[in-house]
Amino acid sequence: MSRGFYIGRFQPYHAGHHAMVERIAEDVEELVLGIGSADQSHTVHDPFTAGERIMMITKAVSAADLDIITYAVPIEDLNRNAVWVSHVQSMCPEFDVAYSNNPLVVRLFEESGIEVHSSPMFRREVLEGSEVRERMMNGDDWRSLVPDAAAAVVDEIDGVGRLRQVGSSDSNGNGHEGYAEDPSD
Ligand SMILES: Nc1ncnc2c1ncn2[C@@H]1O[C@H](COP(=O)(O)OP(=O)(O)OP(=O)(O)O)[C@@H](O)[C@H]1O
Ligand SMILES: NC(=O)c1ccc[n+]([C@@H]2O[C@H](COP(=O)(O)O)[C@@H](O)[C@H]2O)c1
């Protein structure tokens, strides 16, 4: 039995992530899905809570009827890269192999002696979280970039409305500051 690990922010869970999960399901029987930056929500860069992202992933994986058992584990950021892999391991079931296309994540796992697999990006010109969020903000078609079950969760929580509202308070435009700021700033 082998168990894999795949981490992302999944803001939101899109068809590129889903294609990765489908590919990983061909390799392993169980998959731990790390919900990265779990402490972040209600900003333009990270609009959805860890729980909402878990709903998107759980429902999308279930709808796809993949031959795999998944565990979604929220992982808060730890601003110390050198010990981040230990932090991840402390929160998760044990895993044999990690999957990532993020160069920093790949490096950190390899330096910890963990096998890492990367794959080519799927339609990266559109399958990118920032593109999906931008389309949500602008009223463009984002649904075609997201599994139907994940789009239904976005609808259920009025995710587009939230993103637009926190976006309208993002006065400095850096995408991270959707929360209420000190008005004197
Ligand atoms: N289109 C894609 N094809 C394959 N892997 C992808 C794709 N998009 C993201 N990934 C990978 O999924 C993991 C999680 O990515 P992440 O949640 O940051 O998504 P993202 O689309 O890069 O988001 P953002 O634009 O919000 O930073 C990373 O390893 C990332 O490289
Ligand atoms: N030191 C740290 O806290 C650290 C290091 C590497 C990745 N991460 C997190 O892991 C996730 C990686 O996901 P992406 O591949 O989506 O960038 C992100 O949530 C990122 O913040 C955190």
CA dihedral angle for residue 163, residue 53, residue 9, residue 147, rounded to 10 degrees? -90
CB within 8 Å of 152: residues ≥ 6 apart: 59
| 43: DSSP letter | S
Q: Is 147 in the pocket of ligand 1 (CB under 6 A)?
A: no
d(Cα 185, Cα 179) in Å, to the nearest integer?
A: 13
Whether the predicted model's global pTM rises above the 0.90 cut: yes
pLDDT digits (tens, 9 = 90+) for 108-142: 999 999 999 998 999 999 999 999 999 999 999 99
DSSP 6-43: EEE--TT--HHHHHHHHHHTTT-SEEEEEESSTT--SS
Q: How far is the CA of 183 from the centre of ligand 2 (A)?
A: 30
CB within 8 Å of 69: residues ≥ 6 apart: 29, 30, 31
Q: Is 78 in the pocket of ligand 2 (CB under 6 A)?
A: yes
Residue-level pLDDT at 2:
97
Encoded tokens for 139: 């009223």
Residue-level pLDDT at 170:
62
Percentage with pLDDT > 70 across the chain: 91
Homologous superfamily of domain range 1-170: HUPs (3.40.50.620)
Q: Is 62 in the pocket of ligand 1 (CB under 6 A)?
A: no
Residue-level pLDDT at 74:
98
Q: How far is the CA of 153 from the centre of ligand 1 (A)?
A: 19
Percentage with pLDDT > 90 across the chain: 89
Q: Is the pLDDT of residue 184 over 80?
A: no
Domain boundaries, the chain: 1-170
Q: Is the pLDDT of residue 181 over 70?
A: no
Q: How far is the CA of 37 from the centre of ligand 2 (A)?
A: 7
Q: Is 37 in the pocket of ligand 1 (CB under 6 A)?
A: no
How large is the average pLDDT for residues 69-92?
Answer: 97
Vertex 160: Cα angle to 159 and 162 (nearest 5)? 65
Of residues 131 and 172, the one with the higher pLDDT is: 131
How large is the average pLDDT for residues 153-177?
Answer: 80
Give the number of the ligand closest to the Cα of residue 134.
1
How large is the average pLDDT for residues 173-180?
Answer: 39
Vertex 33: Cα angle to 61 and 116 (nearest 5)? 120
Q: Mean pLDDT across the chain, nearest whole number?
A: 92
d(Cα 6, Cα 116) in Å, to the nearest integer?
A: 10
Q: How far is the CA of 36 from the centre of ligand 2 (A)?
A: 6
Encoded tokens for 134: 């931008």
User: How much is the ipTM here?
Assistant: 0.97
Q: Is 81 in the pocket of ligand 2 (CB under 6 A)?
A: yes
